[in-house]
């Protein structure tokens, strides 16, 4: 098999488990939008253009609740700001590649694809770029298919939000986060994020997600600095 075809097939097969893992998430996103008054075109366009599951779900609920535009923009910006960090993390790997490669990679650089980006040679050769794009666009196509199924289900079936489909959101992020806990700073970040998010949300605080993210980042950064300083003195 030619290297290009092999890279395309491997990218698709490696991403396939995550494509299947977000089936409930995609269906929930499509059906929730329909049930909150969005048209089928608007719902599908959001998945085609925004392509950010967590931001889409939050934006749908905020817009349905007549939340002020500034609050919607700020909240979705904070939720999606992790992609800026993803871009910085892989920048040194793609900086020498032509723009025709960097642009599509940046578009499909989701949580799922970033989990595949830790190999030291990721994105550095044409074959590895093709692999990454195959994996990324496989997930993009799958996400839009699941959204379409959710749109159809939302127009034909009763309220799907009561079926507990949102468990897929937590399950997917847990599957992505756990393998990345390789040091104390990562562990502290995850624990602080989980505990603070749970406590703040239980109090009804509207910016619980933003504050828990900031607290977790601060705790992780502080732990990393302290660990590095301690190792330097040994």
Q: Contact, 27 vs 121, CB < 8 A?
A: no
Quote the domain boundaries for residue 51. 3-179
Output the CA angle 164-167-170, nearest 5 degrees: 160
Please indicate whether residue 198 or residue 118 has the higher confidence score (pLDDT): 198
Does residue 50 sit in the same domain as residue 104? yes
- CA dist., res. 166 & res. 119, Å (int): 31
Does residue 187 sit in the same domain as residue 157? no
Does residue 201 sit in the same domain as residue 91? no
Burial class of 214 by CB neighbour count within 10 A (0 to 12, 13 to 18, 19+): middle
| SS3 state of residue 165 | coil
- For residue range 178-187, what is the model confidence (pLDDT) as tens digits? 766 778 888 8
Does residue 88 sit in the same domain as residue 36? yes
Query: What value does the mean pLDDT take over residues 140-165?
Result: 80
- For residue range 87-104, what is the model confidence (pLDDT) as tens digits? 888 888 888 888 888 888
Does residue 90 sit in the same domain as residue 112? yes
Does residue 159 sit in the same domain as residue 216? no
* pTM of the predicted model over 0.75: no
Does residue 140 sit in the same domain as residue 101? yes
Instruction: Name residues whose C-beta falls within 8 Å of residue 220's C-beta, 6 or more positions apart in sequence.
Output: 185, 186, 188, 189, 192
What confidence score (pLDDT) does residue 57 get?
A: 82
- For residue range 14-29, what is the model confidence (pLDDT) as tens digits? 889 888 888 888 888 8
Does residue 220 sit in the same domain as residue 131? no
What confidence score (pLDDT) does residue 170 get?
A: 66
Per-residue b or e along 125-163, where b marks 16 or more CB atoms closer than 10 Å to that residue's CB: eeebbbbbbbbbbbbbebbbebbbebbebbeeeeebeee
Q: Residue written as tokens 């993390």?
A: 89
Does residue 120 sit in the same domain as residue 19? yes
Domain count, the chain: 2
Structure tokens at 61: 């609920």
Does residue 191 sit in the same domain as residue 165? no
Q: Residue written as tokens 């986060």?
A: 177
Does residue 101 sit in the same domain as residue 154? yes
Structure tokens at 205: 């605080």
Greatest Cα pair distance in the chain: 65
Angle between helices 69-80 and 208-233 (to 10 degrees): 30
Structure tokens at 32: 């929730």
Q: Residue written as tokens 């059906």?
A: 31
Does residue 170 sit in the same domain as residue 187? no
- CA dist., res. 26 & res. 78, Å (int): 21
Assess whether pLDDT exceeds 90 at residue 44: yes
Assess whether pLDDT exceeds 90 at residue 155: no
């Amino acid at each position: 098999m030619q290297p290009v075809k092999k890279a395309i097939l491997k990218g698709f097969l490696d991403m396939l488990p995550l494509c299947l893992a977000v089936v409930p998430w995609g269906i929930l996103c499509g059906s929730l939008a329909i049930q909150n008054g969005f048209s089928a075109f608007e719902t599908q366009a959001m998945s085609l253009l925004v392509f950010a599951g967590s931001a889409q779900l939050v934006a749908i609920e905020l817009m349905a609740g007549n939340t002020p535009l500034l609050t919607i923009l700020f909240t979705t910006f904070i939720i999606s700001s992790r992609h800026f960090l993803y871009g910085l993390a892989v920048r040194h790997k793609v900086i020498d590649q032509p723009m025709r490669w960097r642009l599509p990679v940046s578009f499909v650089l989701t949580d799922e694809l970033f989990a595949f980006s830790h190999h030291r040679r990721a994105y550095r050769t044409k074959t590895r770029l093709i692999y990454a794009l195959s994996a990324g666009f496989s997930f993009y196509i799958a996400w839009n298919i699941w959204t379409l199924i959710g749109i159809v289900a939302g127009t034909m079936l009763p309220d799907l939000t009561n079926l507990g489909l949102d468990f897929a959101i937590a399950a997917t992020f847990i599957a992505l986060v756990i393998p990345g806990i390789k040091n104390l700073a990562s562990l502290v970040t995850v624990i602080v994020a989980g505990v603070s998010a749970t406590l703040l949300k239980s109090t009804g605080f509207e910016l619980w997600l933003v504050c828990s993210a900031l607290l977790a980042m601060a705790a992780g950064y502080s732990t990393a600095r302290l660990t590095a300083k301690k190792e330097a003195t040994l």
